[in-house]
Every structure is written in C-alpha cells, then in structure tokens.
C-alpha cells in the first residue's frame, strides 16, 4: 500500500479535535485486541443521560413491523403537507439505537419541520444482512402508508441516515424503485457507508485510516459482522448498484477527515452521471460522526 498523503499538523479544527479525542478515549480500539459487540454498544451509550434534550412537541413510540420512535414538533390539527423523514441510525449495523440518535432526530424534527420516524432495526451480528435492510424497507413502507395520519404529504417522503444508516437509506431508495415501492422524494445520506471496497483507490481511507475516531479497522470489523463469512457484500453495497437511473435526488453531508469521504463523493458522481440530482456538502475540519458529537447539528436540510 502506498504511503498516506501528507496532511497538515492536524486537519481537524480545535473544537473537532477535542470532541474526537473525547469520543475516541472511551471507544474500543481494534489495535488493543479483538472487538466485542457488547463493549462497543456500551461505549456508544456512555453519557446519554448527560446530554441536553431538545424539546419536541410530541415524541411517541409505536410497534409497526419494526419498533419506531416518531418526532413531531408541529402544532396539532395542522395540514397534511409536511415532509416525512424516515431515519436510520448509524453504528456499523452493530451498535447504537433509538436513544443514541435521539438528539439528532430531535434536531431534524425541529429544524426541518418534518415528522421524523426513527427505525429500531435489527442489528448484527445477531441478525446479519439482509435483516437490517429488510427492516428499513418495512419501516419505509409503513411510514409512507401512514403519511397522512402522521400529518405529512405522501409525496414528500424522505429517507435519511448517518453512516451505516445512510447505507440503509440508499438501499431503500434503490429497492423502492426496483420493487415499485413507496415514492421516495429525496435521500439524505450523512457520511454514508456505501461500498465494501472502501479502502480501494481511496485517498481518504488511507489519509484518515486512524486518529479520527472512526478507523478503517473499525469499518472492516463492521462489514464482517454485518455480512458474515461468505456474505453478499456487493448486494449490501448500494454504491455498487449497476443501475442508478430513476433514483430520487440525493443530498450528501460528508466530513472531510473521514475514511469514508471518498466513497460518498464517488456515489454522488455516479448519480449525477445518470442525471440524478446529487448535492454534496463537504465540511472541512470535522470527522465521521460529527453531527452527533456533543448533540450539535451543524447543518440545515432543505426539503
């Protein structure tokens, strides 16, 4: 493997570096020994009770085909014209849950005016691919079918997710097209996992392989847990889909100091190449997972 490109002394902003180091200090490192799903899950939930909670008018939980949490900051009795965001949390398909991404979903609901449906999909390694993908699509179908009941416009259904959740969101957009599923108005992909070959021909995977919270070693382990021995990694990689025509517009929110940065850019270019609107917002000086760091959402989504 060629040497990583030369970087500035620290490409992260001082605030981002502080957050990155704080998050990394309590997170298991593959360099210290074999990773354990239970330990990673515990680390992902550390400090939940200490985080500020953004008030949202209504937060409810329902058991659909998959358990969901619904965030609605609108006034009751309003119209049925709001967007509906179906959100899938990240965590390498292994860790994180509704609670770890509660703050991010609250921010989405408040800042966009949309109703947010957050999916509690099955996690690996107990449930390998395609379990999470099937759960994600089931939630999309349920949410789209109940859009008016939720006070939303069925024509404004958006799939969104961060990291591995972005993988599920992109997969839902593809599956909805292929299976004549719900009409998806847009896909919002936050530093998504898209290609199991993420280390191939990628400057970012080499330059930010370690030292920026999310490492390439972590990503290799997540893929192993998700697909299992002999699993279909290609089918689990939306970025390798042969046909991207007819997909909904995509917004990519990417961190510059992220080993997954380049696969997001590559997918955006492929979409644009077949006439699909693909907007990339690349944030310098921040790392993978920055939207959830400190409970601060650093961008506004316009849908």
Q: What is the CATH number of the domain that holds 48?
A: 3.40.50.1820
Give the tens place of pLDDT for each residue, 87-113: 999 999 999 999 999 999 999 999 999
Residue 302 domain flag: no
288 is catalytic: yes
Give the tens place of pLDDT for each residue, 32-46: 889 999 999 999 998
Residue 213 domain flag: yes
Using DSSP's 3-state secondary structure scheme, residue 92 falls into coil
| First-to-last C-alpha distance (Å) of the chain | 42
Residue 6 domain flag: no
Q: Is the pLDDT of residue 3 over 50?
A: no
Give the tens place of pLDDT for each residue, 288-301: 999 986 544 344 34
Residue 8 domain flag: no
Residue 243 domain flag: yes
- Average pLDDT of span 157-184: 99
Q: Which residue out of 73, 120, 134, 258 is catalytically annotated?
A: 258
Residue 190 domain flag: yes
Number of structural domains (the chain) is 1
Give the tens place of pLDDT for each residue, 49-59: 767 889 999 99
102 is catalytic: no
- Average pLDDT of span 203-227: 97
Neighbours of 272 (CB within 10 A): 15
pTM here is 0.94
Amino acid 9: pLDDT: 87
Of the listed ranges 77-81, 167-171, 254-258, the least confidently predicted one is 77-81
Q: Which residue out of 163, 164, 202, 237 is catalytically annotated?
A: 163
Q: What is the mean pLDDT of the chain?
A: 92
Residue 108 domain flag: yes
Using DSSP's 3-state secondary structure scheme, residue 58 falls into strand
In order of 91, 191, 268, the CA distances from 244 in angstroms are: 26, 19, 10
Using DSSP's 3-state secondary structure scheme, residue 88 falls into strand
Q: Which residue out of 101, 196, 214, 288 is catalytically annotated?
A: 288
Q: Is 49 exposed, middle or buried (0-12, 13-18, 19+ CB in 10 A)?
A: exposed
Residue 216 domain flag: yes
277 is catalytic: no
Which of 34-48, 66-80, 163-177 ranks highest by mean pLDDT?
Answer: 163-177
Containing domain of residue 184, as a range?
14-295
């Amino acid at each position: 493997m060629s040497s990583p490109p030369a970087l500035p002394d620290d490409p992260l902003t001082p605030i981002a570096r502080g957050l990155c180091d704080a998050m990394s200090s309590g997170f298991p490192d593959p360099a210290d020994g074999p990773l354990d799903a239970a330990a990673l899950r515990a680390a992902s939930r550390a400090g939940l009770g200490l985080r500020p909670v953004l008030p949202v008018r209504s937060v409810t939980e329902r058991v659909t085909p998959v358990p969901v949490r619904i965030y609605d900051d609108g006034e009751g009795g309003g119209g049925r014209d709001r967007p509906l965001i179906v959100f899938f949390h990240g965590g390498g398909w292994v860790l994180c849950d509704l609670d770890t991404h509660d703050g991010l979903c609250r921010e989405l609901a408040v800042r966009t005016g949309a109703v947010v449906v957050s999916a509690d999909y099955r996690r690996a390694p107990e449930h390998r691919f395609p379990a999470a993908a099937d759960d994600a699509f089931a939630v999309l179908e349920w949410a789209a079918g109940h859009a008016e009941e939720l006070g939303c416009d069925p024509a404004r259904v958006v799939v969104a997710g961060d990291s591995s959740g972005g993988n599920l969101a992109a997969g839902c957009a593809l599956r909805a097209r292929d299976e004549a599923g719900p009409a998806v108005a847009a896909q919002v992909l936050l530093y998504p996992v898209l290609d199991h070959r993420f280390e191939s021909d990628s400057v970012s995977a080499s330059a930010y392989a370690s030292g920026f919270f999310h490492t390439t070693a972590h990503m290799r382990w997540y893929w192993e847990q998700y697909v299992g021995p002999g699993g279909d990694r290609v089918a689990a990689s939306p970025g390798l889909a042969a046909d991207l025509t007819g997909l909904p517009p995509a917004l990519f929110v990417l961190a510059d100091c992220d080993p997954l940065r380049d696969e997001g850019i590559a997918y955006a270019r492929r979409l644009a190449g077949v006439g699909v609107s693909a907007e990339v917002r690349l944030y310098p000086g921040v790392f993978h997972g920055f939207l959830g760091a400190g409970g601060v959402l650093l961008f506004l989504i316009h849908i």
